[in-house]
Amino acid sequence: MRLDAFLAKAAQMSRADAKQALRRGRVTVDGQVCRDGARHVEETAAVALDGAPLGVKQYVYIMLDKPAGVVSASRDARDTTVADLVREAYPRRELFPAGRLDKDSTGFVLLTDDGALAHAILAPRRHVAKTYTVEIDAPVTRAMTEGFAAGVTLADGTRLAHAELRAEEGARVCEVVLTQGVYHQIKRMFGVFGAGVVSLRRTAIGDVRLDGALGPGGYRELTAAELEKLSGGVL
Ligand code: URA
């Protein structure tokens, strides 16, 4: 690709900033200053800006701790979206959430521009587990635990796959593990047992746990080990 395009992608610079950096001699290719934005460089070329090596990442994978009140979408006319929260840091990426949380739910949202990984995580046949901490407005009962394990039939007749409900009997805070992603699934599942959801937080996708250090609205890229766990050989 052209060197100016490489810079724009790898350093997240505008084309104008990339041109200026080139003019000022801040860019080297294989150790030599290069001022020619039209020069063709291979993806593997050793390009550096101010001496710091740059590499073009094909895709990015971001772990976001979604705050309440933010919608799981790329863009929205009215509400702040999960993509809006990271746009400043990734201005030239078209990021979208791989799976949705309700507006009032919080926790782990994976943002990426890699459609294949998003599809793999969401595909029902891959059964990637999503783990939630849920507070309900009634005590957990044995009927709930057994019902979730057997597979709940929702009020509209939808028959769900089995799910796991982990809690002491009588507790109001529990952990729920799903392998499906039906709209408002957990709220509707508890609704079948006459309980309302007070708060819902996704704490893990597959074997990757939400980083507790992030806090609401915090984000970071997945580590290589986390990405490997999620992609599980599909990439
Ligand atoms: N189930 C729900 O009801 N809401 C969510 O946000 C996620 C799972």
> Under a CB-based contact definition with an 8 Å cutoff, are residues 3 and 37 in contact?
yes
State the closest ligand 1 atom to the C-alpha of 100, by its place in the atom list counted from 1. 6
User: pLDDT tier at 54 (50, 70, 90 boundaries)?
Assistant: confident
The pLDDT tens digits of the residues spanning 140-198 come to 999 999 999 999 999 999 999 999 999 998 999 999 999 998 999 999 999 999 999 99
User: pLDDT tier at 46 (50, 70, 90 boundaries)?
Assistant: confident
For the record, the structure tokens of 223 come out as 């580590």
- 161 or 127, which is more confident: 161
CA distance 150 to 33: 66
Residue-level pLDDT at 235: 42
CA of 107 to the centre of ligand 1 (A): 11
CA of 124 to the centre of ligand 1 (A): 16
CA distance 235 to 120: 9
What percentage of the chain carries pLDDT values higher than 70? 97
The pLDDT tens digits of the residues spanning 95-113 come to 999 999 999 999 999 999 9
At which residue do the structure tokens 């805070």 appear?
A: 173
What domains are defined for the chain? 3-54 (3.10.290.10), 61-124+207-232 (3.30.70.580), 129-205 (3.30.70.1560)
User: pLDDT tier at 45 (50, 70, 90 boundaries)?
Assistant: confident
CA of 197 to the centre of ligand 1 (A): 9
Q: What is the overall mean pLDDT for the chain?
A: 92
For the record, the structure tokens of 34 come out as 């290069």
pTM: 0.81
Ligand 1 contact, 186 CB (< 6 A): yes
For 25, 67, 106, 131, 162, the CA distances from 203, given in Å and listed in that order, are 46, 13, 9, 6, 19
User: pLDDT tier at 43 (50, 70, 90 boundaries)?
Assistant: low
| Catalytic residue status for 4 | no
